[in-house]
Amino acid sequence: MTTPRTVLITGGNRGIGRAIAEEFVAAGHRVAVTVRSGEGPAGTLSVVADVTNAESLDAAFAEIEEKLGPVEVLVANAGITRDTLLMRMTDEEFEEVLDTNLTGSFRVLRRATKGMIKAKFGRVIFIGSVVALLGSAGQVNYSAAKSGLVGMARSLTRELAGRGITANVVAPGFIDTDMTSVLPEETIAQYKKNIPAGRFAAPEEVAKVVAWLATDDAAYISGAVIPVDGGLGMGH
């Protein structure tokens, strides 16, 4: 039996983040999600926050702590893409992706660990990507940001594992979401040919791995990169 925890998921109102929030709610946890607009799923506390702004995050944490208690489980999921080939990529397109996907995760992590250190308990799960180590044409910015999360999780493990805090990366491959549903059929077929499992994952398949990492059973796992990619990234 896993102890009910206070869980924060950044970017929890759609796609993978929403599925993760629903999974934690179903498991009986107290769940908050950050949104820039819209609402999280039923049973969650939605707080407006921008991961690129530390003051915005401080306000969000204050609201969560007041209504649900200190954050014990952090799922850093908020992310954006600005895909284009390297020679066409502007400084702004590179920096925007890093500021949200990597530095944004750092800002949320820095704020969350204050309470975790005090409680001598914490679970940090970064949502990475198969492209972090596999690479992807047109995603120099996104790949760099996602691979940076691996170093962040492992450095955090070196710093805080002795205080009951774990940090891991879940690395999804291609997932059935609104983003992939608009791809041309030929592109989807080509992607599926490269995936040993021969299909995209459902968001719920990622969510279940994330939720398990937050359980008491996963207390001795830290600094790991767990792929949920149907075998696409094997060997990386």
Angle 140-160/104-119 helices, nearest 10 degrees?
A: 20
Name residue, tokens 């400084």.
91
C-alpha to C-alpha distance for 183 and 122, rounded to whole angstroms: 38
Which CATH superfamily does the domain covering 6-227 fall into? NAD(P)-binding Rossmann-like Domain (3.40.50.720)
**Residue 87, Cα to own-chain centre: how many angstroms?**
28
How far is the CA of 60 from the CAs of 24, 34, 35, 191, in angstroms?
19, 8, 10, 38
**Residue 26, token pair as written in the block:** 């179903």
pLDDT at 1: 52
Based on the residue annotation, tell me whether 142 is a catalytic residue of this protein.
Answer: yes
Residue spans per domain, the chain: 6-227
- Radius of gyration from C-alpha coordinates of the chain: 17
In 3D space, the residue among 157, 94, 97, 93 whose CA is nearest the CA of residue 125 turns out to be: 157
CA angle 229, 233, 235 (to 5 degrees): 140
C-alpha to C-alpha distance for 216 and 123, rounded to whole angstroms: 10
CA angle 51, 53, 55 (to 5 degrees): 115
Q: Which residues of 112-136 are buried (b: 16+ CB within 10 A; e: fewer)?
A: bbebbeeeebbbbbbbbbbbbbbee
Given 142, 152, 167, 206, which residue is catalytic? Answer: 142
Instruction: Report the number of secondary-structure helices (H) and strands (E) in the chain.
Output: 9, 7
**Residue 134, token pair as written in the block:** 């596999």
Q: What is the pLDDT along the chain (236 residues), one digit of tens a residue?
A: 578 999 999 999 999 999 999 999 999 999 999 999 889 999 999 999 999 999 999 999 999 999 999 999 999 999 999 999 999 999 999 999 999 999 999 999 999 999 999 999 999 999 999 999 999 899 999 999 999 999 999 999 999 999 999 999 999 999 998 777 777 888 889 889 999 999 999 999 999 999 999 999 999 999 999 999 999 998 66
Name residue, tokens 């908020």.
78
Global pTM? 0.96
pLDDT at 236: 60
In 3D space, the residue among 59, 63, 57 whose CA is nearest the CA of residue 45 turns out to be: 63
Contact 83, 30 (CB under 8 A): no
Angle 140-160/91-98 helices, nearest 10 degrees?
A: 30
Contact 138, 84 (CB under 8 A): yes
Q: Are strands 6-10 and 30-35 parallel, antiparallel or unpaired?
A: parallel
- Residue 135, φ and ψ in degrees, nearest 5: 85, 160
